[in-house]
Amino acid sequence: MTIFSDAPIIGVSTGSALPRRAWSNAELIAAKGLDSSDEWIKARTGIEQRYIVEDGETTFTLARDAVRQALERGGVDATEVGVLVVATCTPDLTFPSVAALVHGALGMPQACVALDVNAACSGFIHALAVARGLLATSDAGYAVVVGSETFSNLLDWNDRGTCVLFGDGAGALLLKKEPLLKKEPGAEGRGLLGFKLGADGACAGMLQSSAGVARGRTAGVVTMNGREVFKQAVRQMGSREDVSALLGEAGMELSDLDWLIPHQANERIIEAAAKALDFPMGKVISTVAHHANTSAASIPLALNHAVEKGMVKRGDSVVLQAFGAGFVWSGALVRW
């Protein structure tokens, strides 16, 4: 599905939240007794460390703190938010949603729509598309989209092929609907310009949890066909056809693109996808070395990092690309 819109919805500010403690590869190997090494992990994934939740830290608390920071940076009160969408596949509770918990904790209005989206590692872009649609077709002025995950709770620490890959964290993006007849200075041409979403449910078994509420009454652990996931992730995130379709509707080509922010699963996947697109790595935002794979939180964490560091600036064109369990994949064109 390809979605294009002239609705003037722009990104205002970002926020992030990470657990208190970062674990280096060496620390994780020693603590968990893993049959691995720092060199092995870095060579195959590019990961140097990851953050892991401790007592009192959950998907909800990370989401809450990331949303709060995005609102504070944007100068917007929680009572002004009309749409809240949380992307996660590691919720605190089966129900209610993480969004409902954040909504209550921050005192958002009863008229605010609050819901979770589960599209695994592609969740943030899917949630962004949902929020854009709700914001564009309602009387709300602001929306917040947050990706928040605590994947450490889904890991089998005896499976070195998966347990070293993931981390915990949250990233948020505050959106504003600009009045058609009264745009703020510099807002012209900015916003969420387009989305491209797809899926292949026949591949569900290649990356999934081993159980769930209806199968075993537990959350299960991550299981993955690493070779196949690698191949499919590169194929989808490195699709010139998909990226060109996004850019084409905005009258742009790949050479016009300022930044690419892919899902942060593995540095080798990121590099292979950039090579397939013939896109320079110097214009690819990568934080996987410090965050590892945080699933739905990876893209907003990387976006927040790039904005904080002054890399992504107002007016820059950015493509977000994600691939995750399902298989589901998504891309978004944003002019920041």
Give me the amino acid identity at 113: V
Secondary structure of 17-63 in HEC code, one letter for each residue: ECCCCEEEHHHHHHHHCCCCCHHHHHHHHCCCEEECCCCCCCHHHHH
- What is the reported pLDDT for 186? 53
How far apart are alpha carbons 155 and 219 in whole angstroms? 10
Q: Tens digit of pLDDT for each residue in 230-239?
A: 999 999 999 9
What CA dihedral angle connects 249, 250, 251 and 257, to 10 degrees?
-120
CB-CB contact of 16 with 300 (8 Å): yes
Q: Tens digit of pLDDT for each residue in 57-98?
A: 999 999 999 999 999 999 999 999 999 999 999 999 999 999
Distance of CA 271 to the CA centre of its chain: 18
Reading the block at residue 115, the tokens are 């819901």
Q: What percent of the chain has pLDDT over 90?
A: 92
CB-CB contact of 299 with 261 (8 Å): yes
Q: Tens digit of pLDDT for each residue in 263-275?
A: 999 999 999 999 9
One fold for both 2-177 and 191-335?
Answer: yes
**Catalytic residue status for 103:** no
**Catalytic residue status for 290:** no
Burial class (CB in 10 A: 0-12, 13-18, 19+), 225: middle
| Angstrom distances, CA of residue 72 to CA of 98, 110, 323 | 20, 20, 30
Q: Domain limits of the chain?
A: 2-177, 191-335
CATH top-level class for 191-335? Answer: alpha beta
- What is the reported pLDDT for 179? 73
CB-CB contact of 312 with 318 (8 Å): yes
**Catalytic residue status for 126:** no
The DSSP element (H or E) to which 333 belongs, if any, is strand 328-335
| Catalytic site residue from 263, 290, 291, 305 | 263
How far apart are alpha carbons 291 and 306 in whole angstroms? 14
Pick from 229, 228, 297: which is nearest to 261 by CA? Answer: 297
User: What CATH code is assigned to 2-177?
Assistant: 3.40.47.10
- What is the reported pLDDT for 181? 43
Parts of the chain with a pLDDT under 70: 1-7, 180-188
| Catalytic site residue from 118, 266, 293, 304 | 293
- What is the reported pLDDT for 7? 59
Residues in the chain: 336
| Catalytic site residue from 121, 266, 290, 305 | 121
